[in-house]
Structure 1
Amino acid sequence: MSHPHFDLDVPPPLKDGAVRIVPLGGLGEIGRNMMVLEHRGQLLIIDCGVLFPDDDHPGIDLILPDFRFLEDRLDDVQAIVLTHGHEDHIGGVPFLLRLKPDIPLIGSQLTLALVEAKLKEHKIRPYTLAVKEGDIERLGGFETEFIAVNHSIPDALAVMVRTSGGTLLHTGDFKMDQLPLDGRITDLRAFGRMGEEGVDVFLTDSTNATVPGFTTPEIEIAPAIDKVFRHAKRRIVVACFASHVHRVQQVLDAAAKAGRKVAYVGRSMVKNMGIAADLGYLNVPPGVVVDLKAIDDLPDDDVVLICTGSQGEPMAALARMANRDHRIDIGVDDTVMLLSSAIPGNESSVWRVINGLMRLGATVVHSGSARVHVSGHASAGELLYAYNIVKPKNVVPVHGEWRHLRANADLAIQTGVGHPHVAVVEDGMVVDLEDGRISVAGVVPAGYVYVDGSSVGEADEALLKDRKILRDEGFISVIAVVDSVSGKVVAGPEIFARGFALDDGVFDEIRPKVLTALEDAVAGGVTDTHQLQQVIRRTIGSWVGRRIRRRPMILPTVIEA
């Protein structure tokens, strides 16, 4: 959930001519990126992504931004601008368009193709407008200009937003790879041109702000991939994000060079790579890609499988292979490559999968043992270049945990942006741009919205707390029957427990105490079953805490007979 800001009030009405910046996700966390701009009563949304759950969110499928700020103002939304096609930037779009399906979607060709495929599953037919670098579009009171940036997915865009109240440059996710696989570099000339025009607020990617120097070019992982292909004895299984077109391209090229066939594993991988190939973003060597069913007829040393699951997701293909719950049976002399690094919070899940694969006899190659991954985000040296080129008047770091945002702010200050002109804020904290200066104006709701099976927003922190208690502390059920006339206990208490290492016989010690507590309560005039249940809960809870050192979920039931 987002952090409360008790020192901030609800922001006042926006002053005429000012621009309001409302981050609903992505600031203070890695994921669910969503920024809302407000000017003269109109709203423009930049990105609408999801956050993937971790161990603190048992049973949760996805975490969405909080749309409450928008619910009563959906008619004011001019468009949703999508910077690129990663899930943490587009995954929330179907859930927002459920509220108003005709909000226009603006993005590059590949980004829109990926989000349209997602919306098709939700039976939503969106209005879309494809843009490319250099395009300028008027979206209500917002003029947007799109700029090419390099990232770990093709067709990523930064966006310059011009209003009568000031200009804002949002980088999206970017880096300055000078040798990109597709030849499409971050357009620093355009950044410089924007700087000459004047950038009132620079909203820039913070993910790698703590990393010194420059991000390694994508092309430099090719030798490590080729080396794995030369030495692999049997099948090669490659795990990466289903949207990482550049990484898949390198695997396809290595497979073609080694004379191996490639099959995609997993619905999202098949769908996304099909879209990328159809649109020309993925160059598939002739005869290399085959259907998954065809691998059964191929020698093991001719097979490459590209699947999802590089973050240790329990239902993804790689984790299921590690658990022997997949048609692909990993064994001795198979080689598995994880072509990504663990997103903060996923480390234990990733190591669990790696251990499971190695236990089955596979050789596992990952970013800790070979250069098989490079980041898609600008490191500190690149961010310094960006600040010196753009020369912004004000800076709001975006996309990152607090440590990333703080480090990015420090970089801005080092390049000459004054302390009062740098706002380190997180989800829900509203920043206003007025007369060329920024200030924190207040706070709006920006908590986690949970997708739990088919329900959206119904799961809350109380439910997750119950699930964590059940998972970590166990469960005790107590049943007692009382006479409806006399109030005396005529049966029980019966105690049933799950999640304890001790035998149920350990509860023989507490049964007489529960019975005594009930009889004392009845003698004192307590007859309400709910109050009697609370007596049971307090008695059991106190004893379990002392005797077993646990705080289980206790469900007492008192039945009148």
Structure 2
Amino acid sequence: MPAPLSNDAVRIIPLGGLGEVGRNCNVLEYQGKLVVVDCGVLFPEESQPGVDLILPDIDYLKNRINDVEAIVLTHGHEDHIGAVPYLLKLRNDIPIVGSQLTIAFIEAKLQEHRIKPHSHIVVEGDVENVGPFEMEFIAVNHSVPDALAVFVRSPEGNILITGDFKMDQLPVDGRLTDLRAFAKAGQEGVDLFMCDSTNAEVPGFVRSESEIGPVIDDVFAHAPGQIVVASFSSHVHRVQQVLNAAAHHGRKVAFVGRSMVRNMTIAAELGYLDVPAGVLLDLGYMRDIPENQRVYMSTGSQGEPMAVLARIASSTHPKIAVGPSDTVLFASSLIPGNENSVYRLINGLMRLGARVIHQGNARVHVSGHAAQGELLYCYNILQPAFAMPIHGEVRHQVANGGIAVKTGVPPENVILAENGSVIDMHDGVVQLVGSVPFHEIYVDGSSVGDITETELKDRRILAEEGFIAIFAAVDAKAEQIVTGPHIQARAMAEDESVFDDILPEVTVALEEALEKGMDTYGMQQAMRRVMGRWVSRKLRRSPMIIPTVVEV
């Protein structure tokens, strides 16, 4: 644990986003006041059955929720804004600071949670006093419009937090990453550079988003039937290019999926999405036009089981079905950990006869994160004293740190932090001073934080190994078994008759426990031990075993 923070130091505590791609959240503290920069969610892996979302460790903020001055959002992706409603449930009057589109996205999300936010819109170039810090907002290019980097000034030093960014020189919306503002920050002095690491292992430069347009147009030109395009519901630039291709080829587009409809409606109303006249059509009217004029812009590109694309692949969507003449285009990246789900989805669509185009067989996606060449430019422009790679797995952070060293940052000044690390900055000197307890907060339906690692382990055992229940009723005074033991199994490959061999031994164990005067818990454990040893030796399995003994 770190020592208490003195009044002449700034403290940075990452509560998510390090060692992983998702749930980005950093807390800045100065003189007892806190500012939260981003508050996103992480999507579960297959090893976390039943979990809907994973939150930053906002429990750290519970006891200090009244010290939180503001939540600053860099852009509108779920891994940066998705956990804001859960933080505001601790205190709903925390001001939210962000760009126009980011604020619009989060306000729509908060409306679903019945929370009325206190929003403050900023634009690039604005300088605002946010809590104890002065913050300057800098335009950066990303795969969602209106993204911002944040230059944080304090008496103890300056911090530049990039958020997610790249240096697309031909962006669809014409909004470049403001390298002049980066250069000004470098001249003023960047004591700590907190930089996006996601593509730090990728050599060269990320391709321009504008290069995707001709690829999408070519797909549309050669598609004989319906087209389904799957992408992130906030990827306005990608949707724009789909709309442009549809207009060029005389097709109509329907947005499908609640988040896609919501976000694109917001983007169009605010002028971030230019909808060609006559192209958009309500989903309900799509069946009235020929199949070779239909385009469905949907969610579900990551294989989410309840999303639109998964329901199309399983032939359970009430309004959309695909067949041999149809084309499905995955116009998004593959998030690490989702590979199996996505490939399963692709196989399901191809089984229906659809032609499937994805990142693996066509250049239908470009990343929204800076590659090595772009990061080199940043480090050389800024010349930071200290570097702290954020937003990425450990391998990405290490690669980002290596780039920092190549550009002159001393190796000892590269901080490879983890979630829960505590980093202090005093008089421009930055050092790792300890860590605070960090734990996972799972959202499971309407339950938040009630699912523990132990319960997830039980779920994995149930899914992978099966379940055995043993029931018996006893008369403890007479030291007799009244009925049972009865054995039932679920999710086991073997017929229940296989337990005939072990039933006598389980019965003997229960009788011996009765004779010893054990309570019902002791009797249950005696049966569990016998069954556990046998099933491990005989069936090579480690199922969940639930023995129940009732006294009558």
TM over 0.5: yes
User: Residue 271 of structure 1 aligns to a residue in which SS?
Assistant: helix
The reply on whether 1:264 has 2:255 as its aligned counterpart is: yes
What is the aligned partner in structure 2 of residue 425 from structure 1? 417
What is the aligned partner in structure 2 of residue 338 from structure 1? 330
| Equivalent pair of 1:487/1:527 in contact (CA under 8 Å) | no
The reply on whether 1:405 has 2:419 as its aligned counterpart is: no
| Equivalent pair of 2:461/2:544 in contact (CA under 8 Å) | yes
What is the aligned partner in structure 2 of residue 356 from structure 1? 348
The reply on whether 1:32 has 2:5 as its aligned counterpart is: no
| Equivalent pair of 2:149/2:163 in contact (CA under 8 Å) | yes
User: 2: CA distance between counterparts of 1:380 and 1:253?
Assistant: 31
Unaligned runs of 5+ in 2: none
Aligned counterpart for 2:225 among listed residues 207, 222, 234: 234
The reply on whether 1:127 has 2:113 as its aligned counterpart is: no
Percentage identity across paired residues of the two chains: 60
The Cα shift of 1:382 comes to 0.3
1:56-75 paired onto structure 2 within 5 Å: 56-75=47-66
What is the aligned partner in structure 1 of residue 377 from structure 2? 385
Aligned counterpart for 1:107 among listed residues 68, 83, 98: 98
What is the aligned partner in structure 1 of residue 482 from structure 2? 490
What is the aligned partner in structure 1 of residue 314 from structure 2? 323
The Cα shift of 1:442 comes to 1.0
User: 1: CA distance between counterparts of 2:517 and 2:211?
Assistant: 75
| Equivalent pair of 2:228/2:327 in contact (CA under 8 Å) | yes
| Equivalent pair of 2:158/2:428 in contact (CA under 8 Å) | no
User: 2: CA distance between counterparts of 1:123 and 1:51?
Assistant: 22
| Equivalent pair of 1:175/1:379 in contact (CA under 8 Å) | yes
The reply on whether 1:371 has 2:370 as its aligned counterpart is: no
1:15 counterpart letter in structure 2? S
| Equivalent pair of 2:27/2:37 in contact (CA under 8 Å) | yes
The Cα shift of 1:446 comes to 2.5
What is the aligned partner in structure 1 of residue 459 from structure 2? 467
Unaligned runs of 5+ in 1: 1-9
User: 2: CA distance between counterparts of 1:548 and 1:187?
Assistant: 63
User: 2: CA distance between counterparts of 1:91 and 1:104?
Assistant: 16
User: Residue 175 of structure 1 aligns to a residue in which SS?
Assistant: coil
User: 1: CA distance between counterparts of 2:439 and 2:300?
Assistant: 27
CA displacement, residues 227-285 of structure 1 (integer Å, 9 cap, x when unaligned): 11011010000000000000000000000000000001111100000000000000000
What is the aligned partner in structure 2 of residue 499 from structure 1? 491
The Cα shift of 1:317 comes to 0.4
Q: More deviation in 513-522 or 377-386?
A: 513-522
What is the aligned partner in structure 2 of residue 5 from structure 1? none
Aligned counterpart for 1:222 among listed residues 200, 213, 217: 213
What is the aligned partner in structure 1 of residue 435 from structure 2? 443
User: 1: CA distance between counterparts of 2:20 and 2:185?
Assistant: 28
The reply on whether 1:22 has 2:13 as its aligned counterpart is: yes
The reply on whether 1:549 has 2:515 as its aligned counterpart is: no
Return structure 1 stretches of 4+ with deviation > 4 angstroms. Answer: none
Q: More deviation in 209-218 or 427-436?
A: 427-436
| Equivalent pair of 2:476/2:514 in contact (CA under 8 Å) | no
Q: More deviation in 239-248 or 65-74?
A: 65-74
| Equivalent pair of 1:480/1:494 in contact (CA under 8 Å) | yes
1:518 counterpart letter in structure 2? L
| Equivalent pair of 2:156/2:426 in contact (CA under 8 Å) | yes
User: 2: CA distance between counterparts of 1:537 and 1:163?
Assistant: 61
What is the aligned partner in structure 2 of residue 3 from structure 1? none
| Equivalent pair of 1:526/1:532 in contact (CA under 8 Å) | no
User: 2: CA distance between counterparts of 1:360 and 1:508?
Assistant: 45
User: 2: CA distance between counterparts of 1:344 and 1:426?
Assistant: 19
The Cα shift of 1:444 comes to 1.2
2:63 counterpart letter in structure 1? D
What is the aligned partner in structure 2 of residue 151 from structure 1? 142
User: Residue 493 of structure 1 aligns to a residue in which SS?
Assistant: strand
Q: More deviation in 320-329 or 267-276?
A: 320-329
User: 2: CA distance between counterparts of 1:181 and 1:526?
Assistant: 78
1:511 counterpart letter in structure 2? L
1:116-195 paired onto structure 2 within 5 Å: 116-195=107-186
CA displacement, residues 287-332 of structure 1 (integer Å, 9 cap, x when unaligned): 0000000101010000000000111111110011111111211111
User: 2: CA distance between counterparts of 1:383 and 1:470?
Assistant: 45
Aligned counterpart for 2:246 among listed residues 236, 242, 255: 255
Q: More deviation in 66-75 or 288-297?
A: 66-75
2:471 counterpart letter in structure 1? I
The reply on whether 1:281 has 2:272 as its aligned counterpart is: yes
User: 1: CA distance between counterparts of 2:106 and 2:365?
Assistant: 25
What is the aligned partner in structure 2 of residue 199 from structure 1? 190
1:440 counterpart letter in structure 2? L
User: Residue 290 of structure 1 aligns to a residue in which SS?
Assistant: coil
User: 1: CA distance between counterparts of 2:430 and 2:153?
Assistant: 16
User: 2: CA distance between counterparts of 1:474 and 1:141?
Assistant: 54
Q: More deviation in 291-300 or 73-82?
A: 73-82
What is the aligned partner in structure 2 of residue 6 from structure 1? none
Instruction: State the Cα RMSD in Å.
Output: 0.8
**TM-score w.r.t. structure 1 length?**
0.97
User: 2: CA distance between counterparts of 1:193 and 1:373?
Assistant: 32
CA displacement, residues 87-145 of structure 1 (integer Å, 9 cap, x when unaligned): 00000000000001110000000000000000011111111110000000011210000
What is the aligned partner in structure 1 of residue 237 from structure 2? 246
User: 2: CA distance between counterparts of 1:490 and 1:76?
Assistant: 62
User: 1: CA distance between counterparts of 2:121 and 2:469?
Assistant: 58
1:329 counterpart letter in structure 2? A
CA displacement, residues 25-44 of structure 1 (integer Å, 9 cap, x when unaligned): 00110000000001111111
What is the aligned partner in structure 2 of residue 7 from structure 1? none
What is the aligned partner in structure 2 of residue 4 from structure 1? none
User: Residue 425 of structure 1 aligns to a residue in which SS?
Assistant: coil
What is the aligned partner in structure 2 of residue 558 from structure 1? 549
Q: More deviation in 389-398 or 441-450?
A: 441-450
The Cα shift of 1:68 comes to 2.1
CA displacement, residues 396-444 of structure 1 (integer Å, 9 cap, x when unaligned): 0000000000000000001000011110011001111122221111111
| Equivalent pair of 1:25/1:446 in contact (CA under 8 Å) | no
| Equivalent pair of 1:24/1:428 in contact (CA under 8 Å) | yes
User: 1: CA distance between counterparts of 2:493 and 2:18?
Assistant: 42
The Cα shift of 1:548 comes to 0.6
